[in-house]
Amino acid sequence: MNTTRTLCFVIAALSSYAALAYRLGQVRRSWRDAGYRVLVITLLLQCLTFTMGAVAMGGGSFLGVGNLAILLMHLSAVAYCVCAQIILLGWAETVAEAAARKTRYWVITGIALNVLLVVLFLVADGTRRPATDFNTGSGQPLVLTYLLVFIVSQAVPCVTIFLQCGPYARMTDNASLRQALQTLSVATVILFLYCTARTVNILTAAAGVDIGVWQLASNVFSALGIVTLSLGLTITSWGASAAKLLDWARSYRSYRALYPLWRDLYESSPDIALEPPRPGASVSDLNYRLHRRVVEIRDGWRELRPYIDRAAGGPDRAGAGTTEEARQALAEAAQIRQALRAKSTGTIPADNKDAGDFEDRDTVSFTAEVAWLTKVASAYSRLRTAE
């Protein structure tokens, strides 16, 4: 179990260092911002917490003092919880005086808690105790008190931050800030589960009950919570870029998915293309190219209307269990496939579709249009492959 615990500490530490390194990359343009400085301090404390946790798992002393790594881990954990609360106040409070007052309250509370932890650690003779005592308390009242005070110092900020994140997220118009608050809310839930699992470990050990491998739940919740917290503390700077990258990836996927349908329509009616296709064309102007591909598919469809047999294809070919939209997309794809063959032979069906659109489908936006044509193109590709 020690290996799993150490691995959880390492994962938490690495995520903390990654978040810190990312934020330090913005130091030149952001250092004058007080909120940025608090965030960097928070991430430094987070790194220290889990670095000390990994050191403590190695056993022995740190800087020649027994269990010093454990004490430093707990003190820095209290400090970074206080800093996280201060960051949230900076994001959410609109009145500077109220934010300053609450910040002073949290700073004083954090200092008092750390002083109390140091006193309890020394009174309990923490430097001479086995490191395992600080996992379960080993039934020693002073050690149990020390551990329970530490857990309360972690649980209370989890509750207060969670209670504030929801309302603040609904109030803000800033999308990246809303995502950050929602992510922090999830992180506090996971970290509260860590506090709960840690309390269970301590109380069951004090009662002489062995819960076995379930003792590792607290470590897993801790690592998962810190990874989520690290994302929440940095998402305001990379969230917008990540969203743009995801949008680009979705657009590129749609652009590629539309290609088989576009290619056959282009071969049938080359005049639909504003410019001839070039092998290996750059996708740096993807938005423009996707718009052109959608327009050209629609133009190619209009060129085919005299050759489309209204009786071709049909929803029954989609199979049971599919949606009405999927059946309609397959019907359209089948009619297009039939029309291309009819045009190549010059055959004009008696009951052709000389007016209308894709079953008169009127999409409300370009995004909806791309989504619909992608379904038709996917169905068309399946039909083409089957033939």
pLDDT by residue for the chain (387 residues), tens digit each?
667 777 877 888 888 888 888 888 777 777 777 777 888 888 888 888 888 887 887 766 777 788 888 899 999 989 988 888 888 777 666 556 667 788 888 889 999 999 999 999 999 888 888 777 777 766 678 888 889 899 999 999 889 888 888 888 787 777 777 888 888 889 999 999 999 998 888 888 877 787 777 888 888 898 898 889 888 878 877 766 777 888 888 888 999 999 999 999 998 888 888 877 766 555 667 888 889 989 999 888 888 888 877 665 554 555 544 678 888 888 888 888 888 888 888 777 766 666 555 555 666 788 888 888 999 999 888 888 876
Dihedral (CA of 170, 171, 176, 182) sign = negative
Q: Which amino acid is located at 343 in the chain? A: K
Q: Please name which of 225, 227, 244 lies closest in space to residue 176, comparing C-alpha atoms.
A: 244
- With residue 234 as reference, give the H or E element that holds it: helix 217-257
- Cα 384 to Cα 132, 329, 330, 336, 358: the distances in Å are 66, 14, 12, 11, 19
Contact predicate 361/331, CB 8 Å: no
SS (H, E, C) 31-44: CCCHHHHHHHHHHH
Separation CA 361–CA 104 (nearest Å): 60
Measured distance CA(346)–CA(385) in Å, rounded: 24
| CA proximity to 244, closest of 282, 280, 287, 281 | 287
Closest CA to 223 of 182, 179, 193, 200: 193
CA dihedral 228, 231, 236, 242 (to 10 degrees): -120
R_g of the chain, CA atoms, integer Å: 31
Residue corresponding to tokens 């130091």? 27
Asked if residue 36 lies in contact with residue 237, where contact means CB atoms within 8 angstroms, the answer is no
Q: How far is CA 136 from CA 54, 126, 342, in A?
A: 17, 14, 79
